[in-house]
């Protein structure tokens, strides 16, 4: 049986206090289940932003999507996680990844490392967080007995780590591009293979993880071609039909988009969908229609 849908919005744009709280309240009013914050230089710092979001809202969960493990010392991160979970009343979901933008590490004066080194650091971080937050002697204490862990993954080693430790397996639907820091979208068949690989690695789990997909573009429209233009300019190898078939793209009339979301849950198992802040309003009628059908 399919999991029920959950929907998150990743808030990208820094804002003054009143404006930040207002858009968090708007996300809650639109029906989002999770308010998320990324971890990039030039964007809002995740943990204080989530505490402010908790003060402005009552219902949504609050998450990092995703922390760049290379920015964090595990002991200091454990303190941030425990404090934030306590201050948000146990609403935190911790998302972790390896990071993929070398320039941010250079700006921060931190080593970027090879792909293998970044995965190794993330693995050590996950293990140390588990040890520290699982100890009754660790102070401060989180409100939850276990803060749910999301790991963003695509490669084999990351999928193995996700299968071993994550409550939520997040698929980017993309791979590193030819230019450092860029991502290239996966086709549906390529994503099928990645999900199948994860399922194989996670076959012995006692409790299946929730599967998440980050959507890169959402548009409810009878004429999707104009809204695809920026994507096609960045990804010159794609045709319009190619772009419309990408799992990370939802563009078309409302009924078609709703049907596409249901079909992707059936095909891949994605019951938890995340949209980027620019598409927060556009995705709202899709959420509403899906919930009406489930009622």
pTM for the whole thing?
Answer: 0.97
Residues 123-176 have pLDDT tens digits of 999 999 999 999 999 999 999 999 999 999 999 999 999 999 999 999 989 987
Question: Taking a C-beta distance cutoff of 8 angstroms, is the pair 59, 77 a contact?
Answer: no
**Residue 181's pLDDT is what?**
63
Given its phi and psi angles, is residue 10 left (phi above 0), alpha (psi -120 to 50 degrees) or beta?
A: beta
The CA distance from 89 to 253, in Å, is 39
Mean pLDDT computed over 228-249: 95
How, if at all, do strands 149-153 and 210-215 pair?
A: unpaired
The CA distance from 255 to 39, in Å, is 34
Query: Is residue 284's pLDDT more than 70?
Result: yes
Could you confirm whether domain 6-294 is CATH 3.40.50.10860? Answer: no
Question: Taking a C-beta distance cutoff of 8 angstroms, is the pair 52, 17 a contact?
Answer: yes
Query: Is residue 230's pLDDT more than 80?
Result: yes
Question: Which of 93, 197, 191 is closest to 149 using CA atoms?
Answer: 93
Question: Which of 37, 49, 7 is closest to 290 using CA atoms?
Answer: 7
Q: Which runs of E-coded beta strand occur in 142-269?
A: 149-153, 168-171, 174-176, 183-185, 210-215, 217-220, 249-252
- Per-residue confidence band for 23, with pLDDT thresholds at 50, 70 and 90: very high
The CA distance from 195 to 122, in Å, is 21
Q: What are phi and psi of 269, to 5 degrees?
A: 95, 10
81's CB contacts (< 8 A; 6+ apart) are: 92, 94, 129, 133, 142, 147
Q: What is the CB neighbour count within 10 angstroms for residue 272? A: 23
Residues 59-98 have pLDDT tens digits of 999 999 999 999 999 999 999 999 999 999 999 999 999 9
Quote the crossing angle between the two packed helices 280-294 and 254-268, to the nearest 10°.
Answer: 70
Quote the crossing angle between the two packed helices 156-165 and 115-134, to the nearest 10°.
Answer: 10
Q: Whose structure tokens read 């920026």?
A: 230
Residues 171-199 have pLDDT tens digits of 989 987 777 767 899 999 999 999 999 99
Please give the mean pLDDT across all residues of the chain.
96
């Amino acid at each position: 049986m399919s999991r029920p849908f959950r929907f998150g919005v990743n808030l990208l744009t820094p804002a003054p206090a009143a404006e930040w709280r207002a858009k968090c309240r708007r996300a809650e009013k639109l029906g989002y289940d999770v308010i998320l914050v990324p971890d990039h230089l030039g964007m809002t710092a995740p943990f204080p932003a989530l505490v402010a979001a908790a003060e402005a809202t009552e219902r949504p969960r609050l998450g990092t999507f995703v922390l760049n493990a290379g920015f964090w010392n595990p002991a200091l991160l454990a303190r941030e996680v425990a404090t934030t979970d306590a201050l948000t009343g146990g609403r935190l979901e911790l998302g972790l990844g390896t990071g993929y933008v070398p320039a941010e590490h250079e700006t921060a004066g931190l080593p970027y490392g090879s792909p293998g080194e970044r995965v190794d650091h993330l693995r050590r971080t996950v293990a140390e967080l588990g040890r520290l937050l699982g100890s009754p002697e660790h102070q401060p204490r989180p409100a939850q007995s276990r803060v749910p862990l999301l790991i963003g993954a695509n490669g084999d080693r990351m999928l193995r780590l996700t299968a071993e430790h994550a409550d939520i397996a997040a698929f980017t639907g993309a791979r590193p591009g030819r230019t450092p820091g860029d991502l290239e979208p996966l086709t549906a068949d390529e994503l099928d293979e990645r999900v199948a690989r994860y399922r194989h690695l996670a076959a012995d789990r006692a409790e299946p993880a929730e599967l998440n997909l980050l959507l890169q573009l959402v548009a409810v429209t009878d004429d999707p071609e104009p809204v695809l233009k920026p994507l096609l300019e960045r990804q010159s190898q794609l045709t319009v039909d190619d772009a419309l078939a990408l799992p990370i793209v939802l563009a078309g009339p409302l009924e078609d988009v709703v049907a596409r979301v249901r079909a992707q849950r059936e095909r891949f198992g994605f019951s938890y969908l995340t949209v980027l802040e620019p598409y927060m309003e556009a995705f709202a009628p899709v959420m509403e229609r899906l919930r009406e059908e489930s009622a």
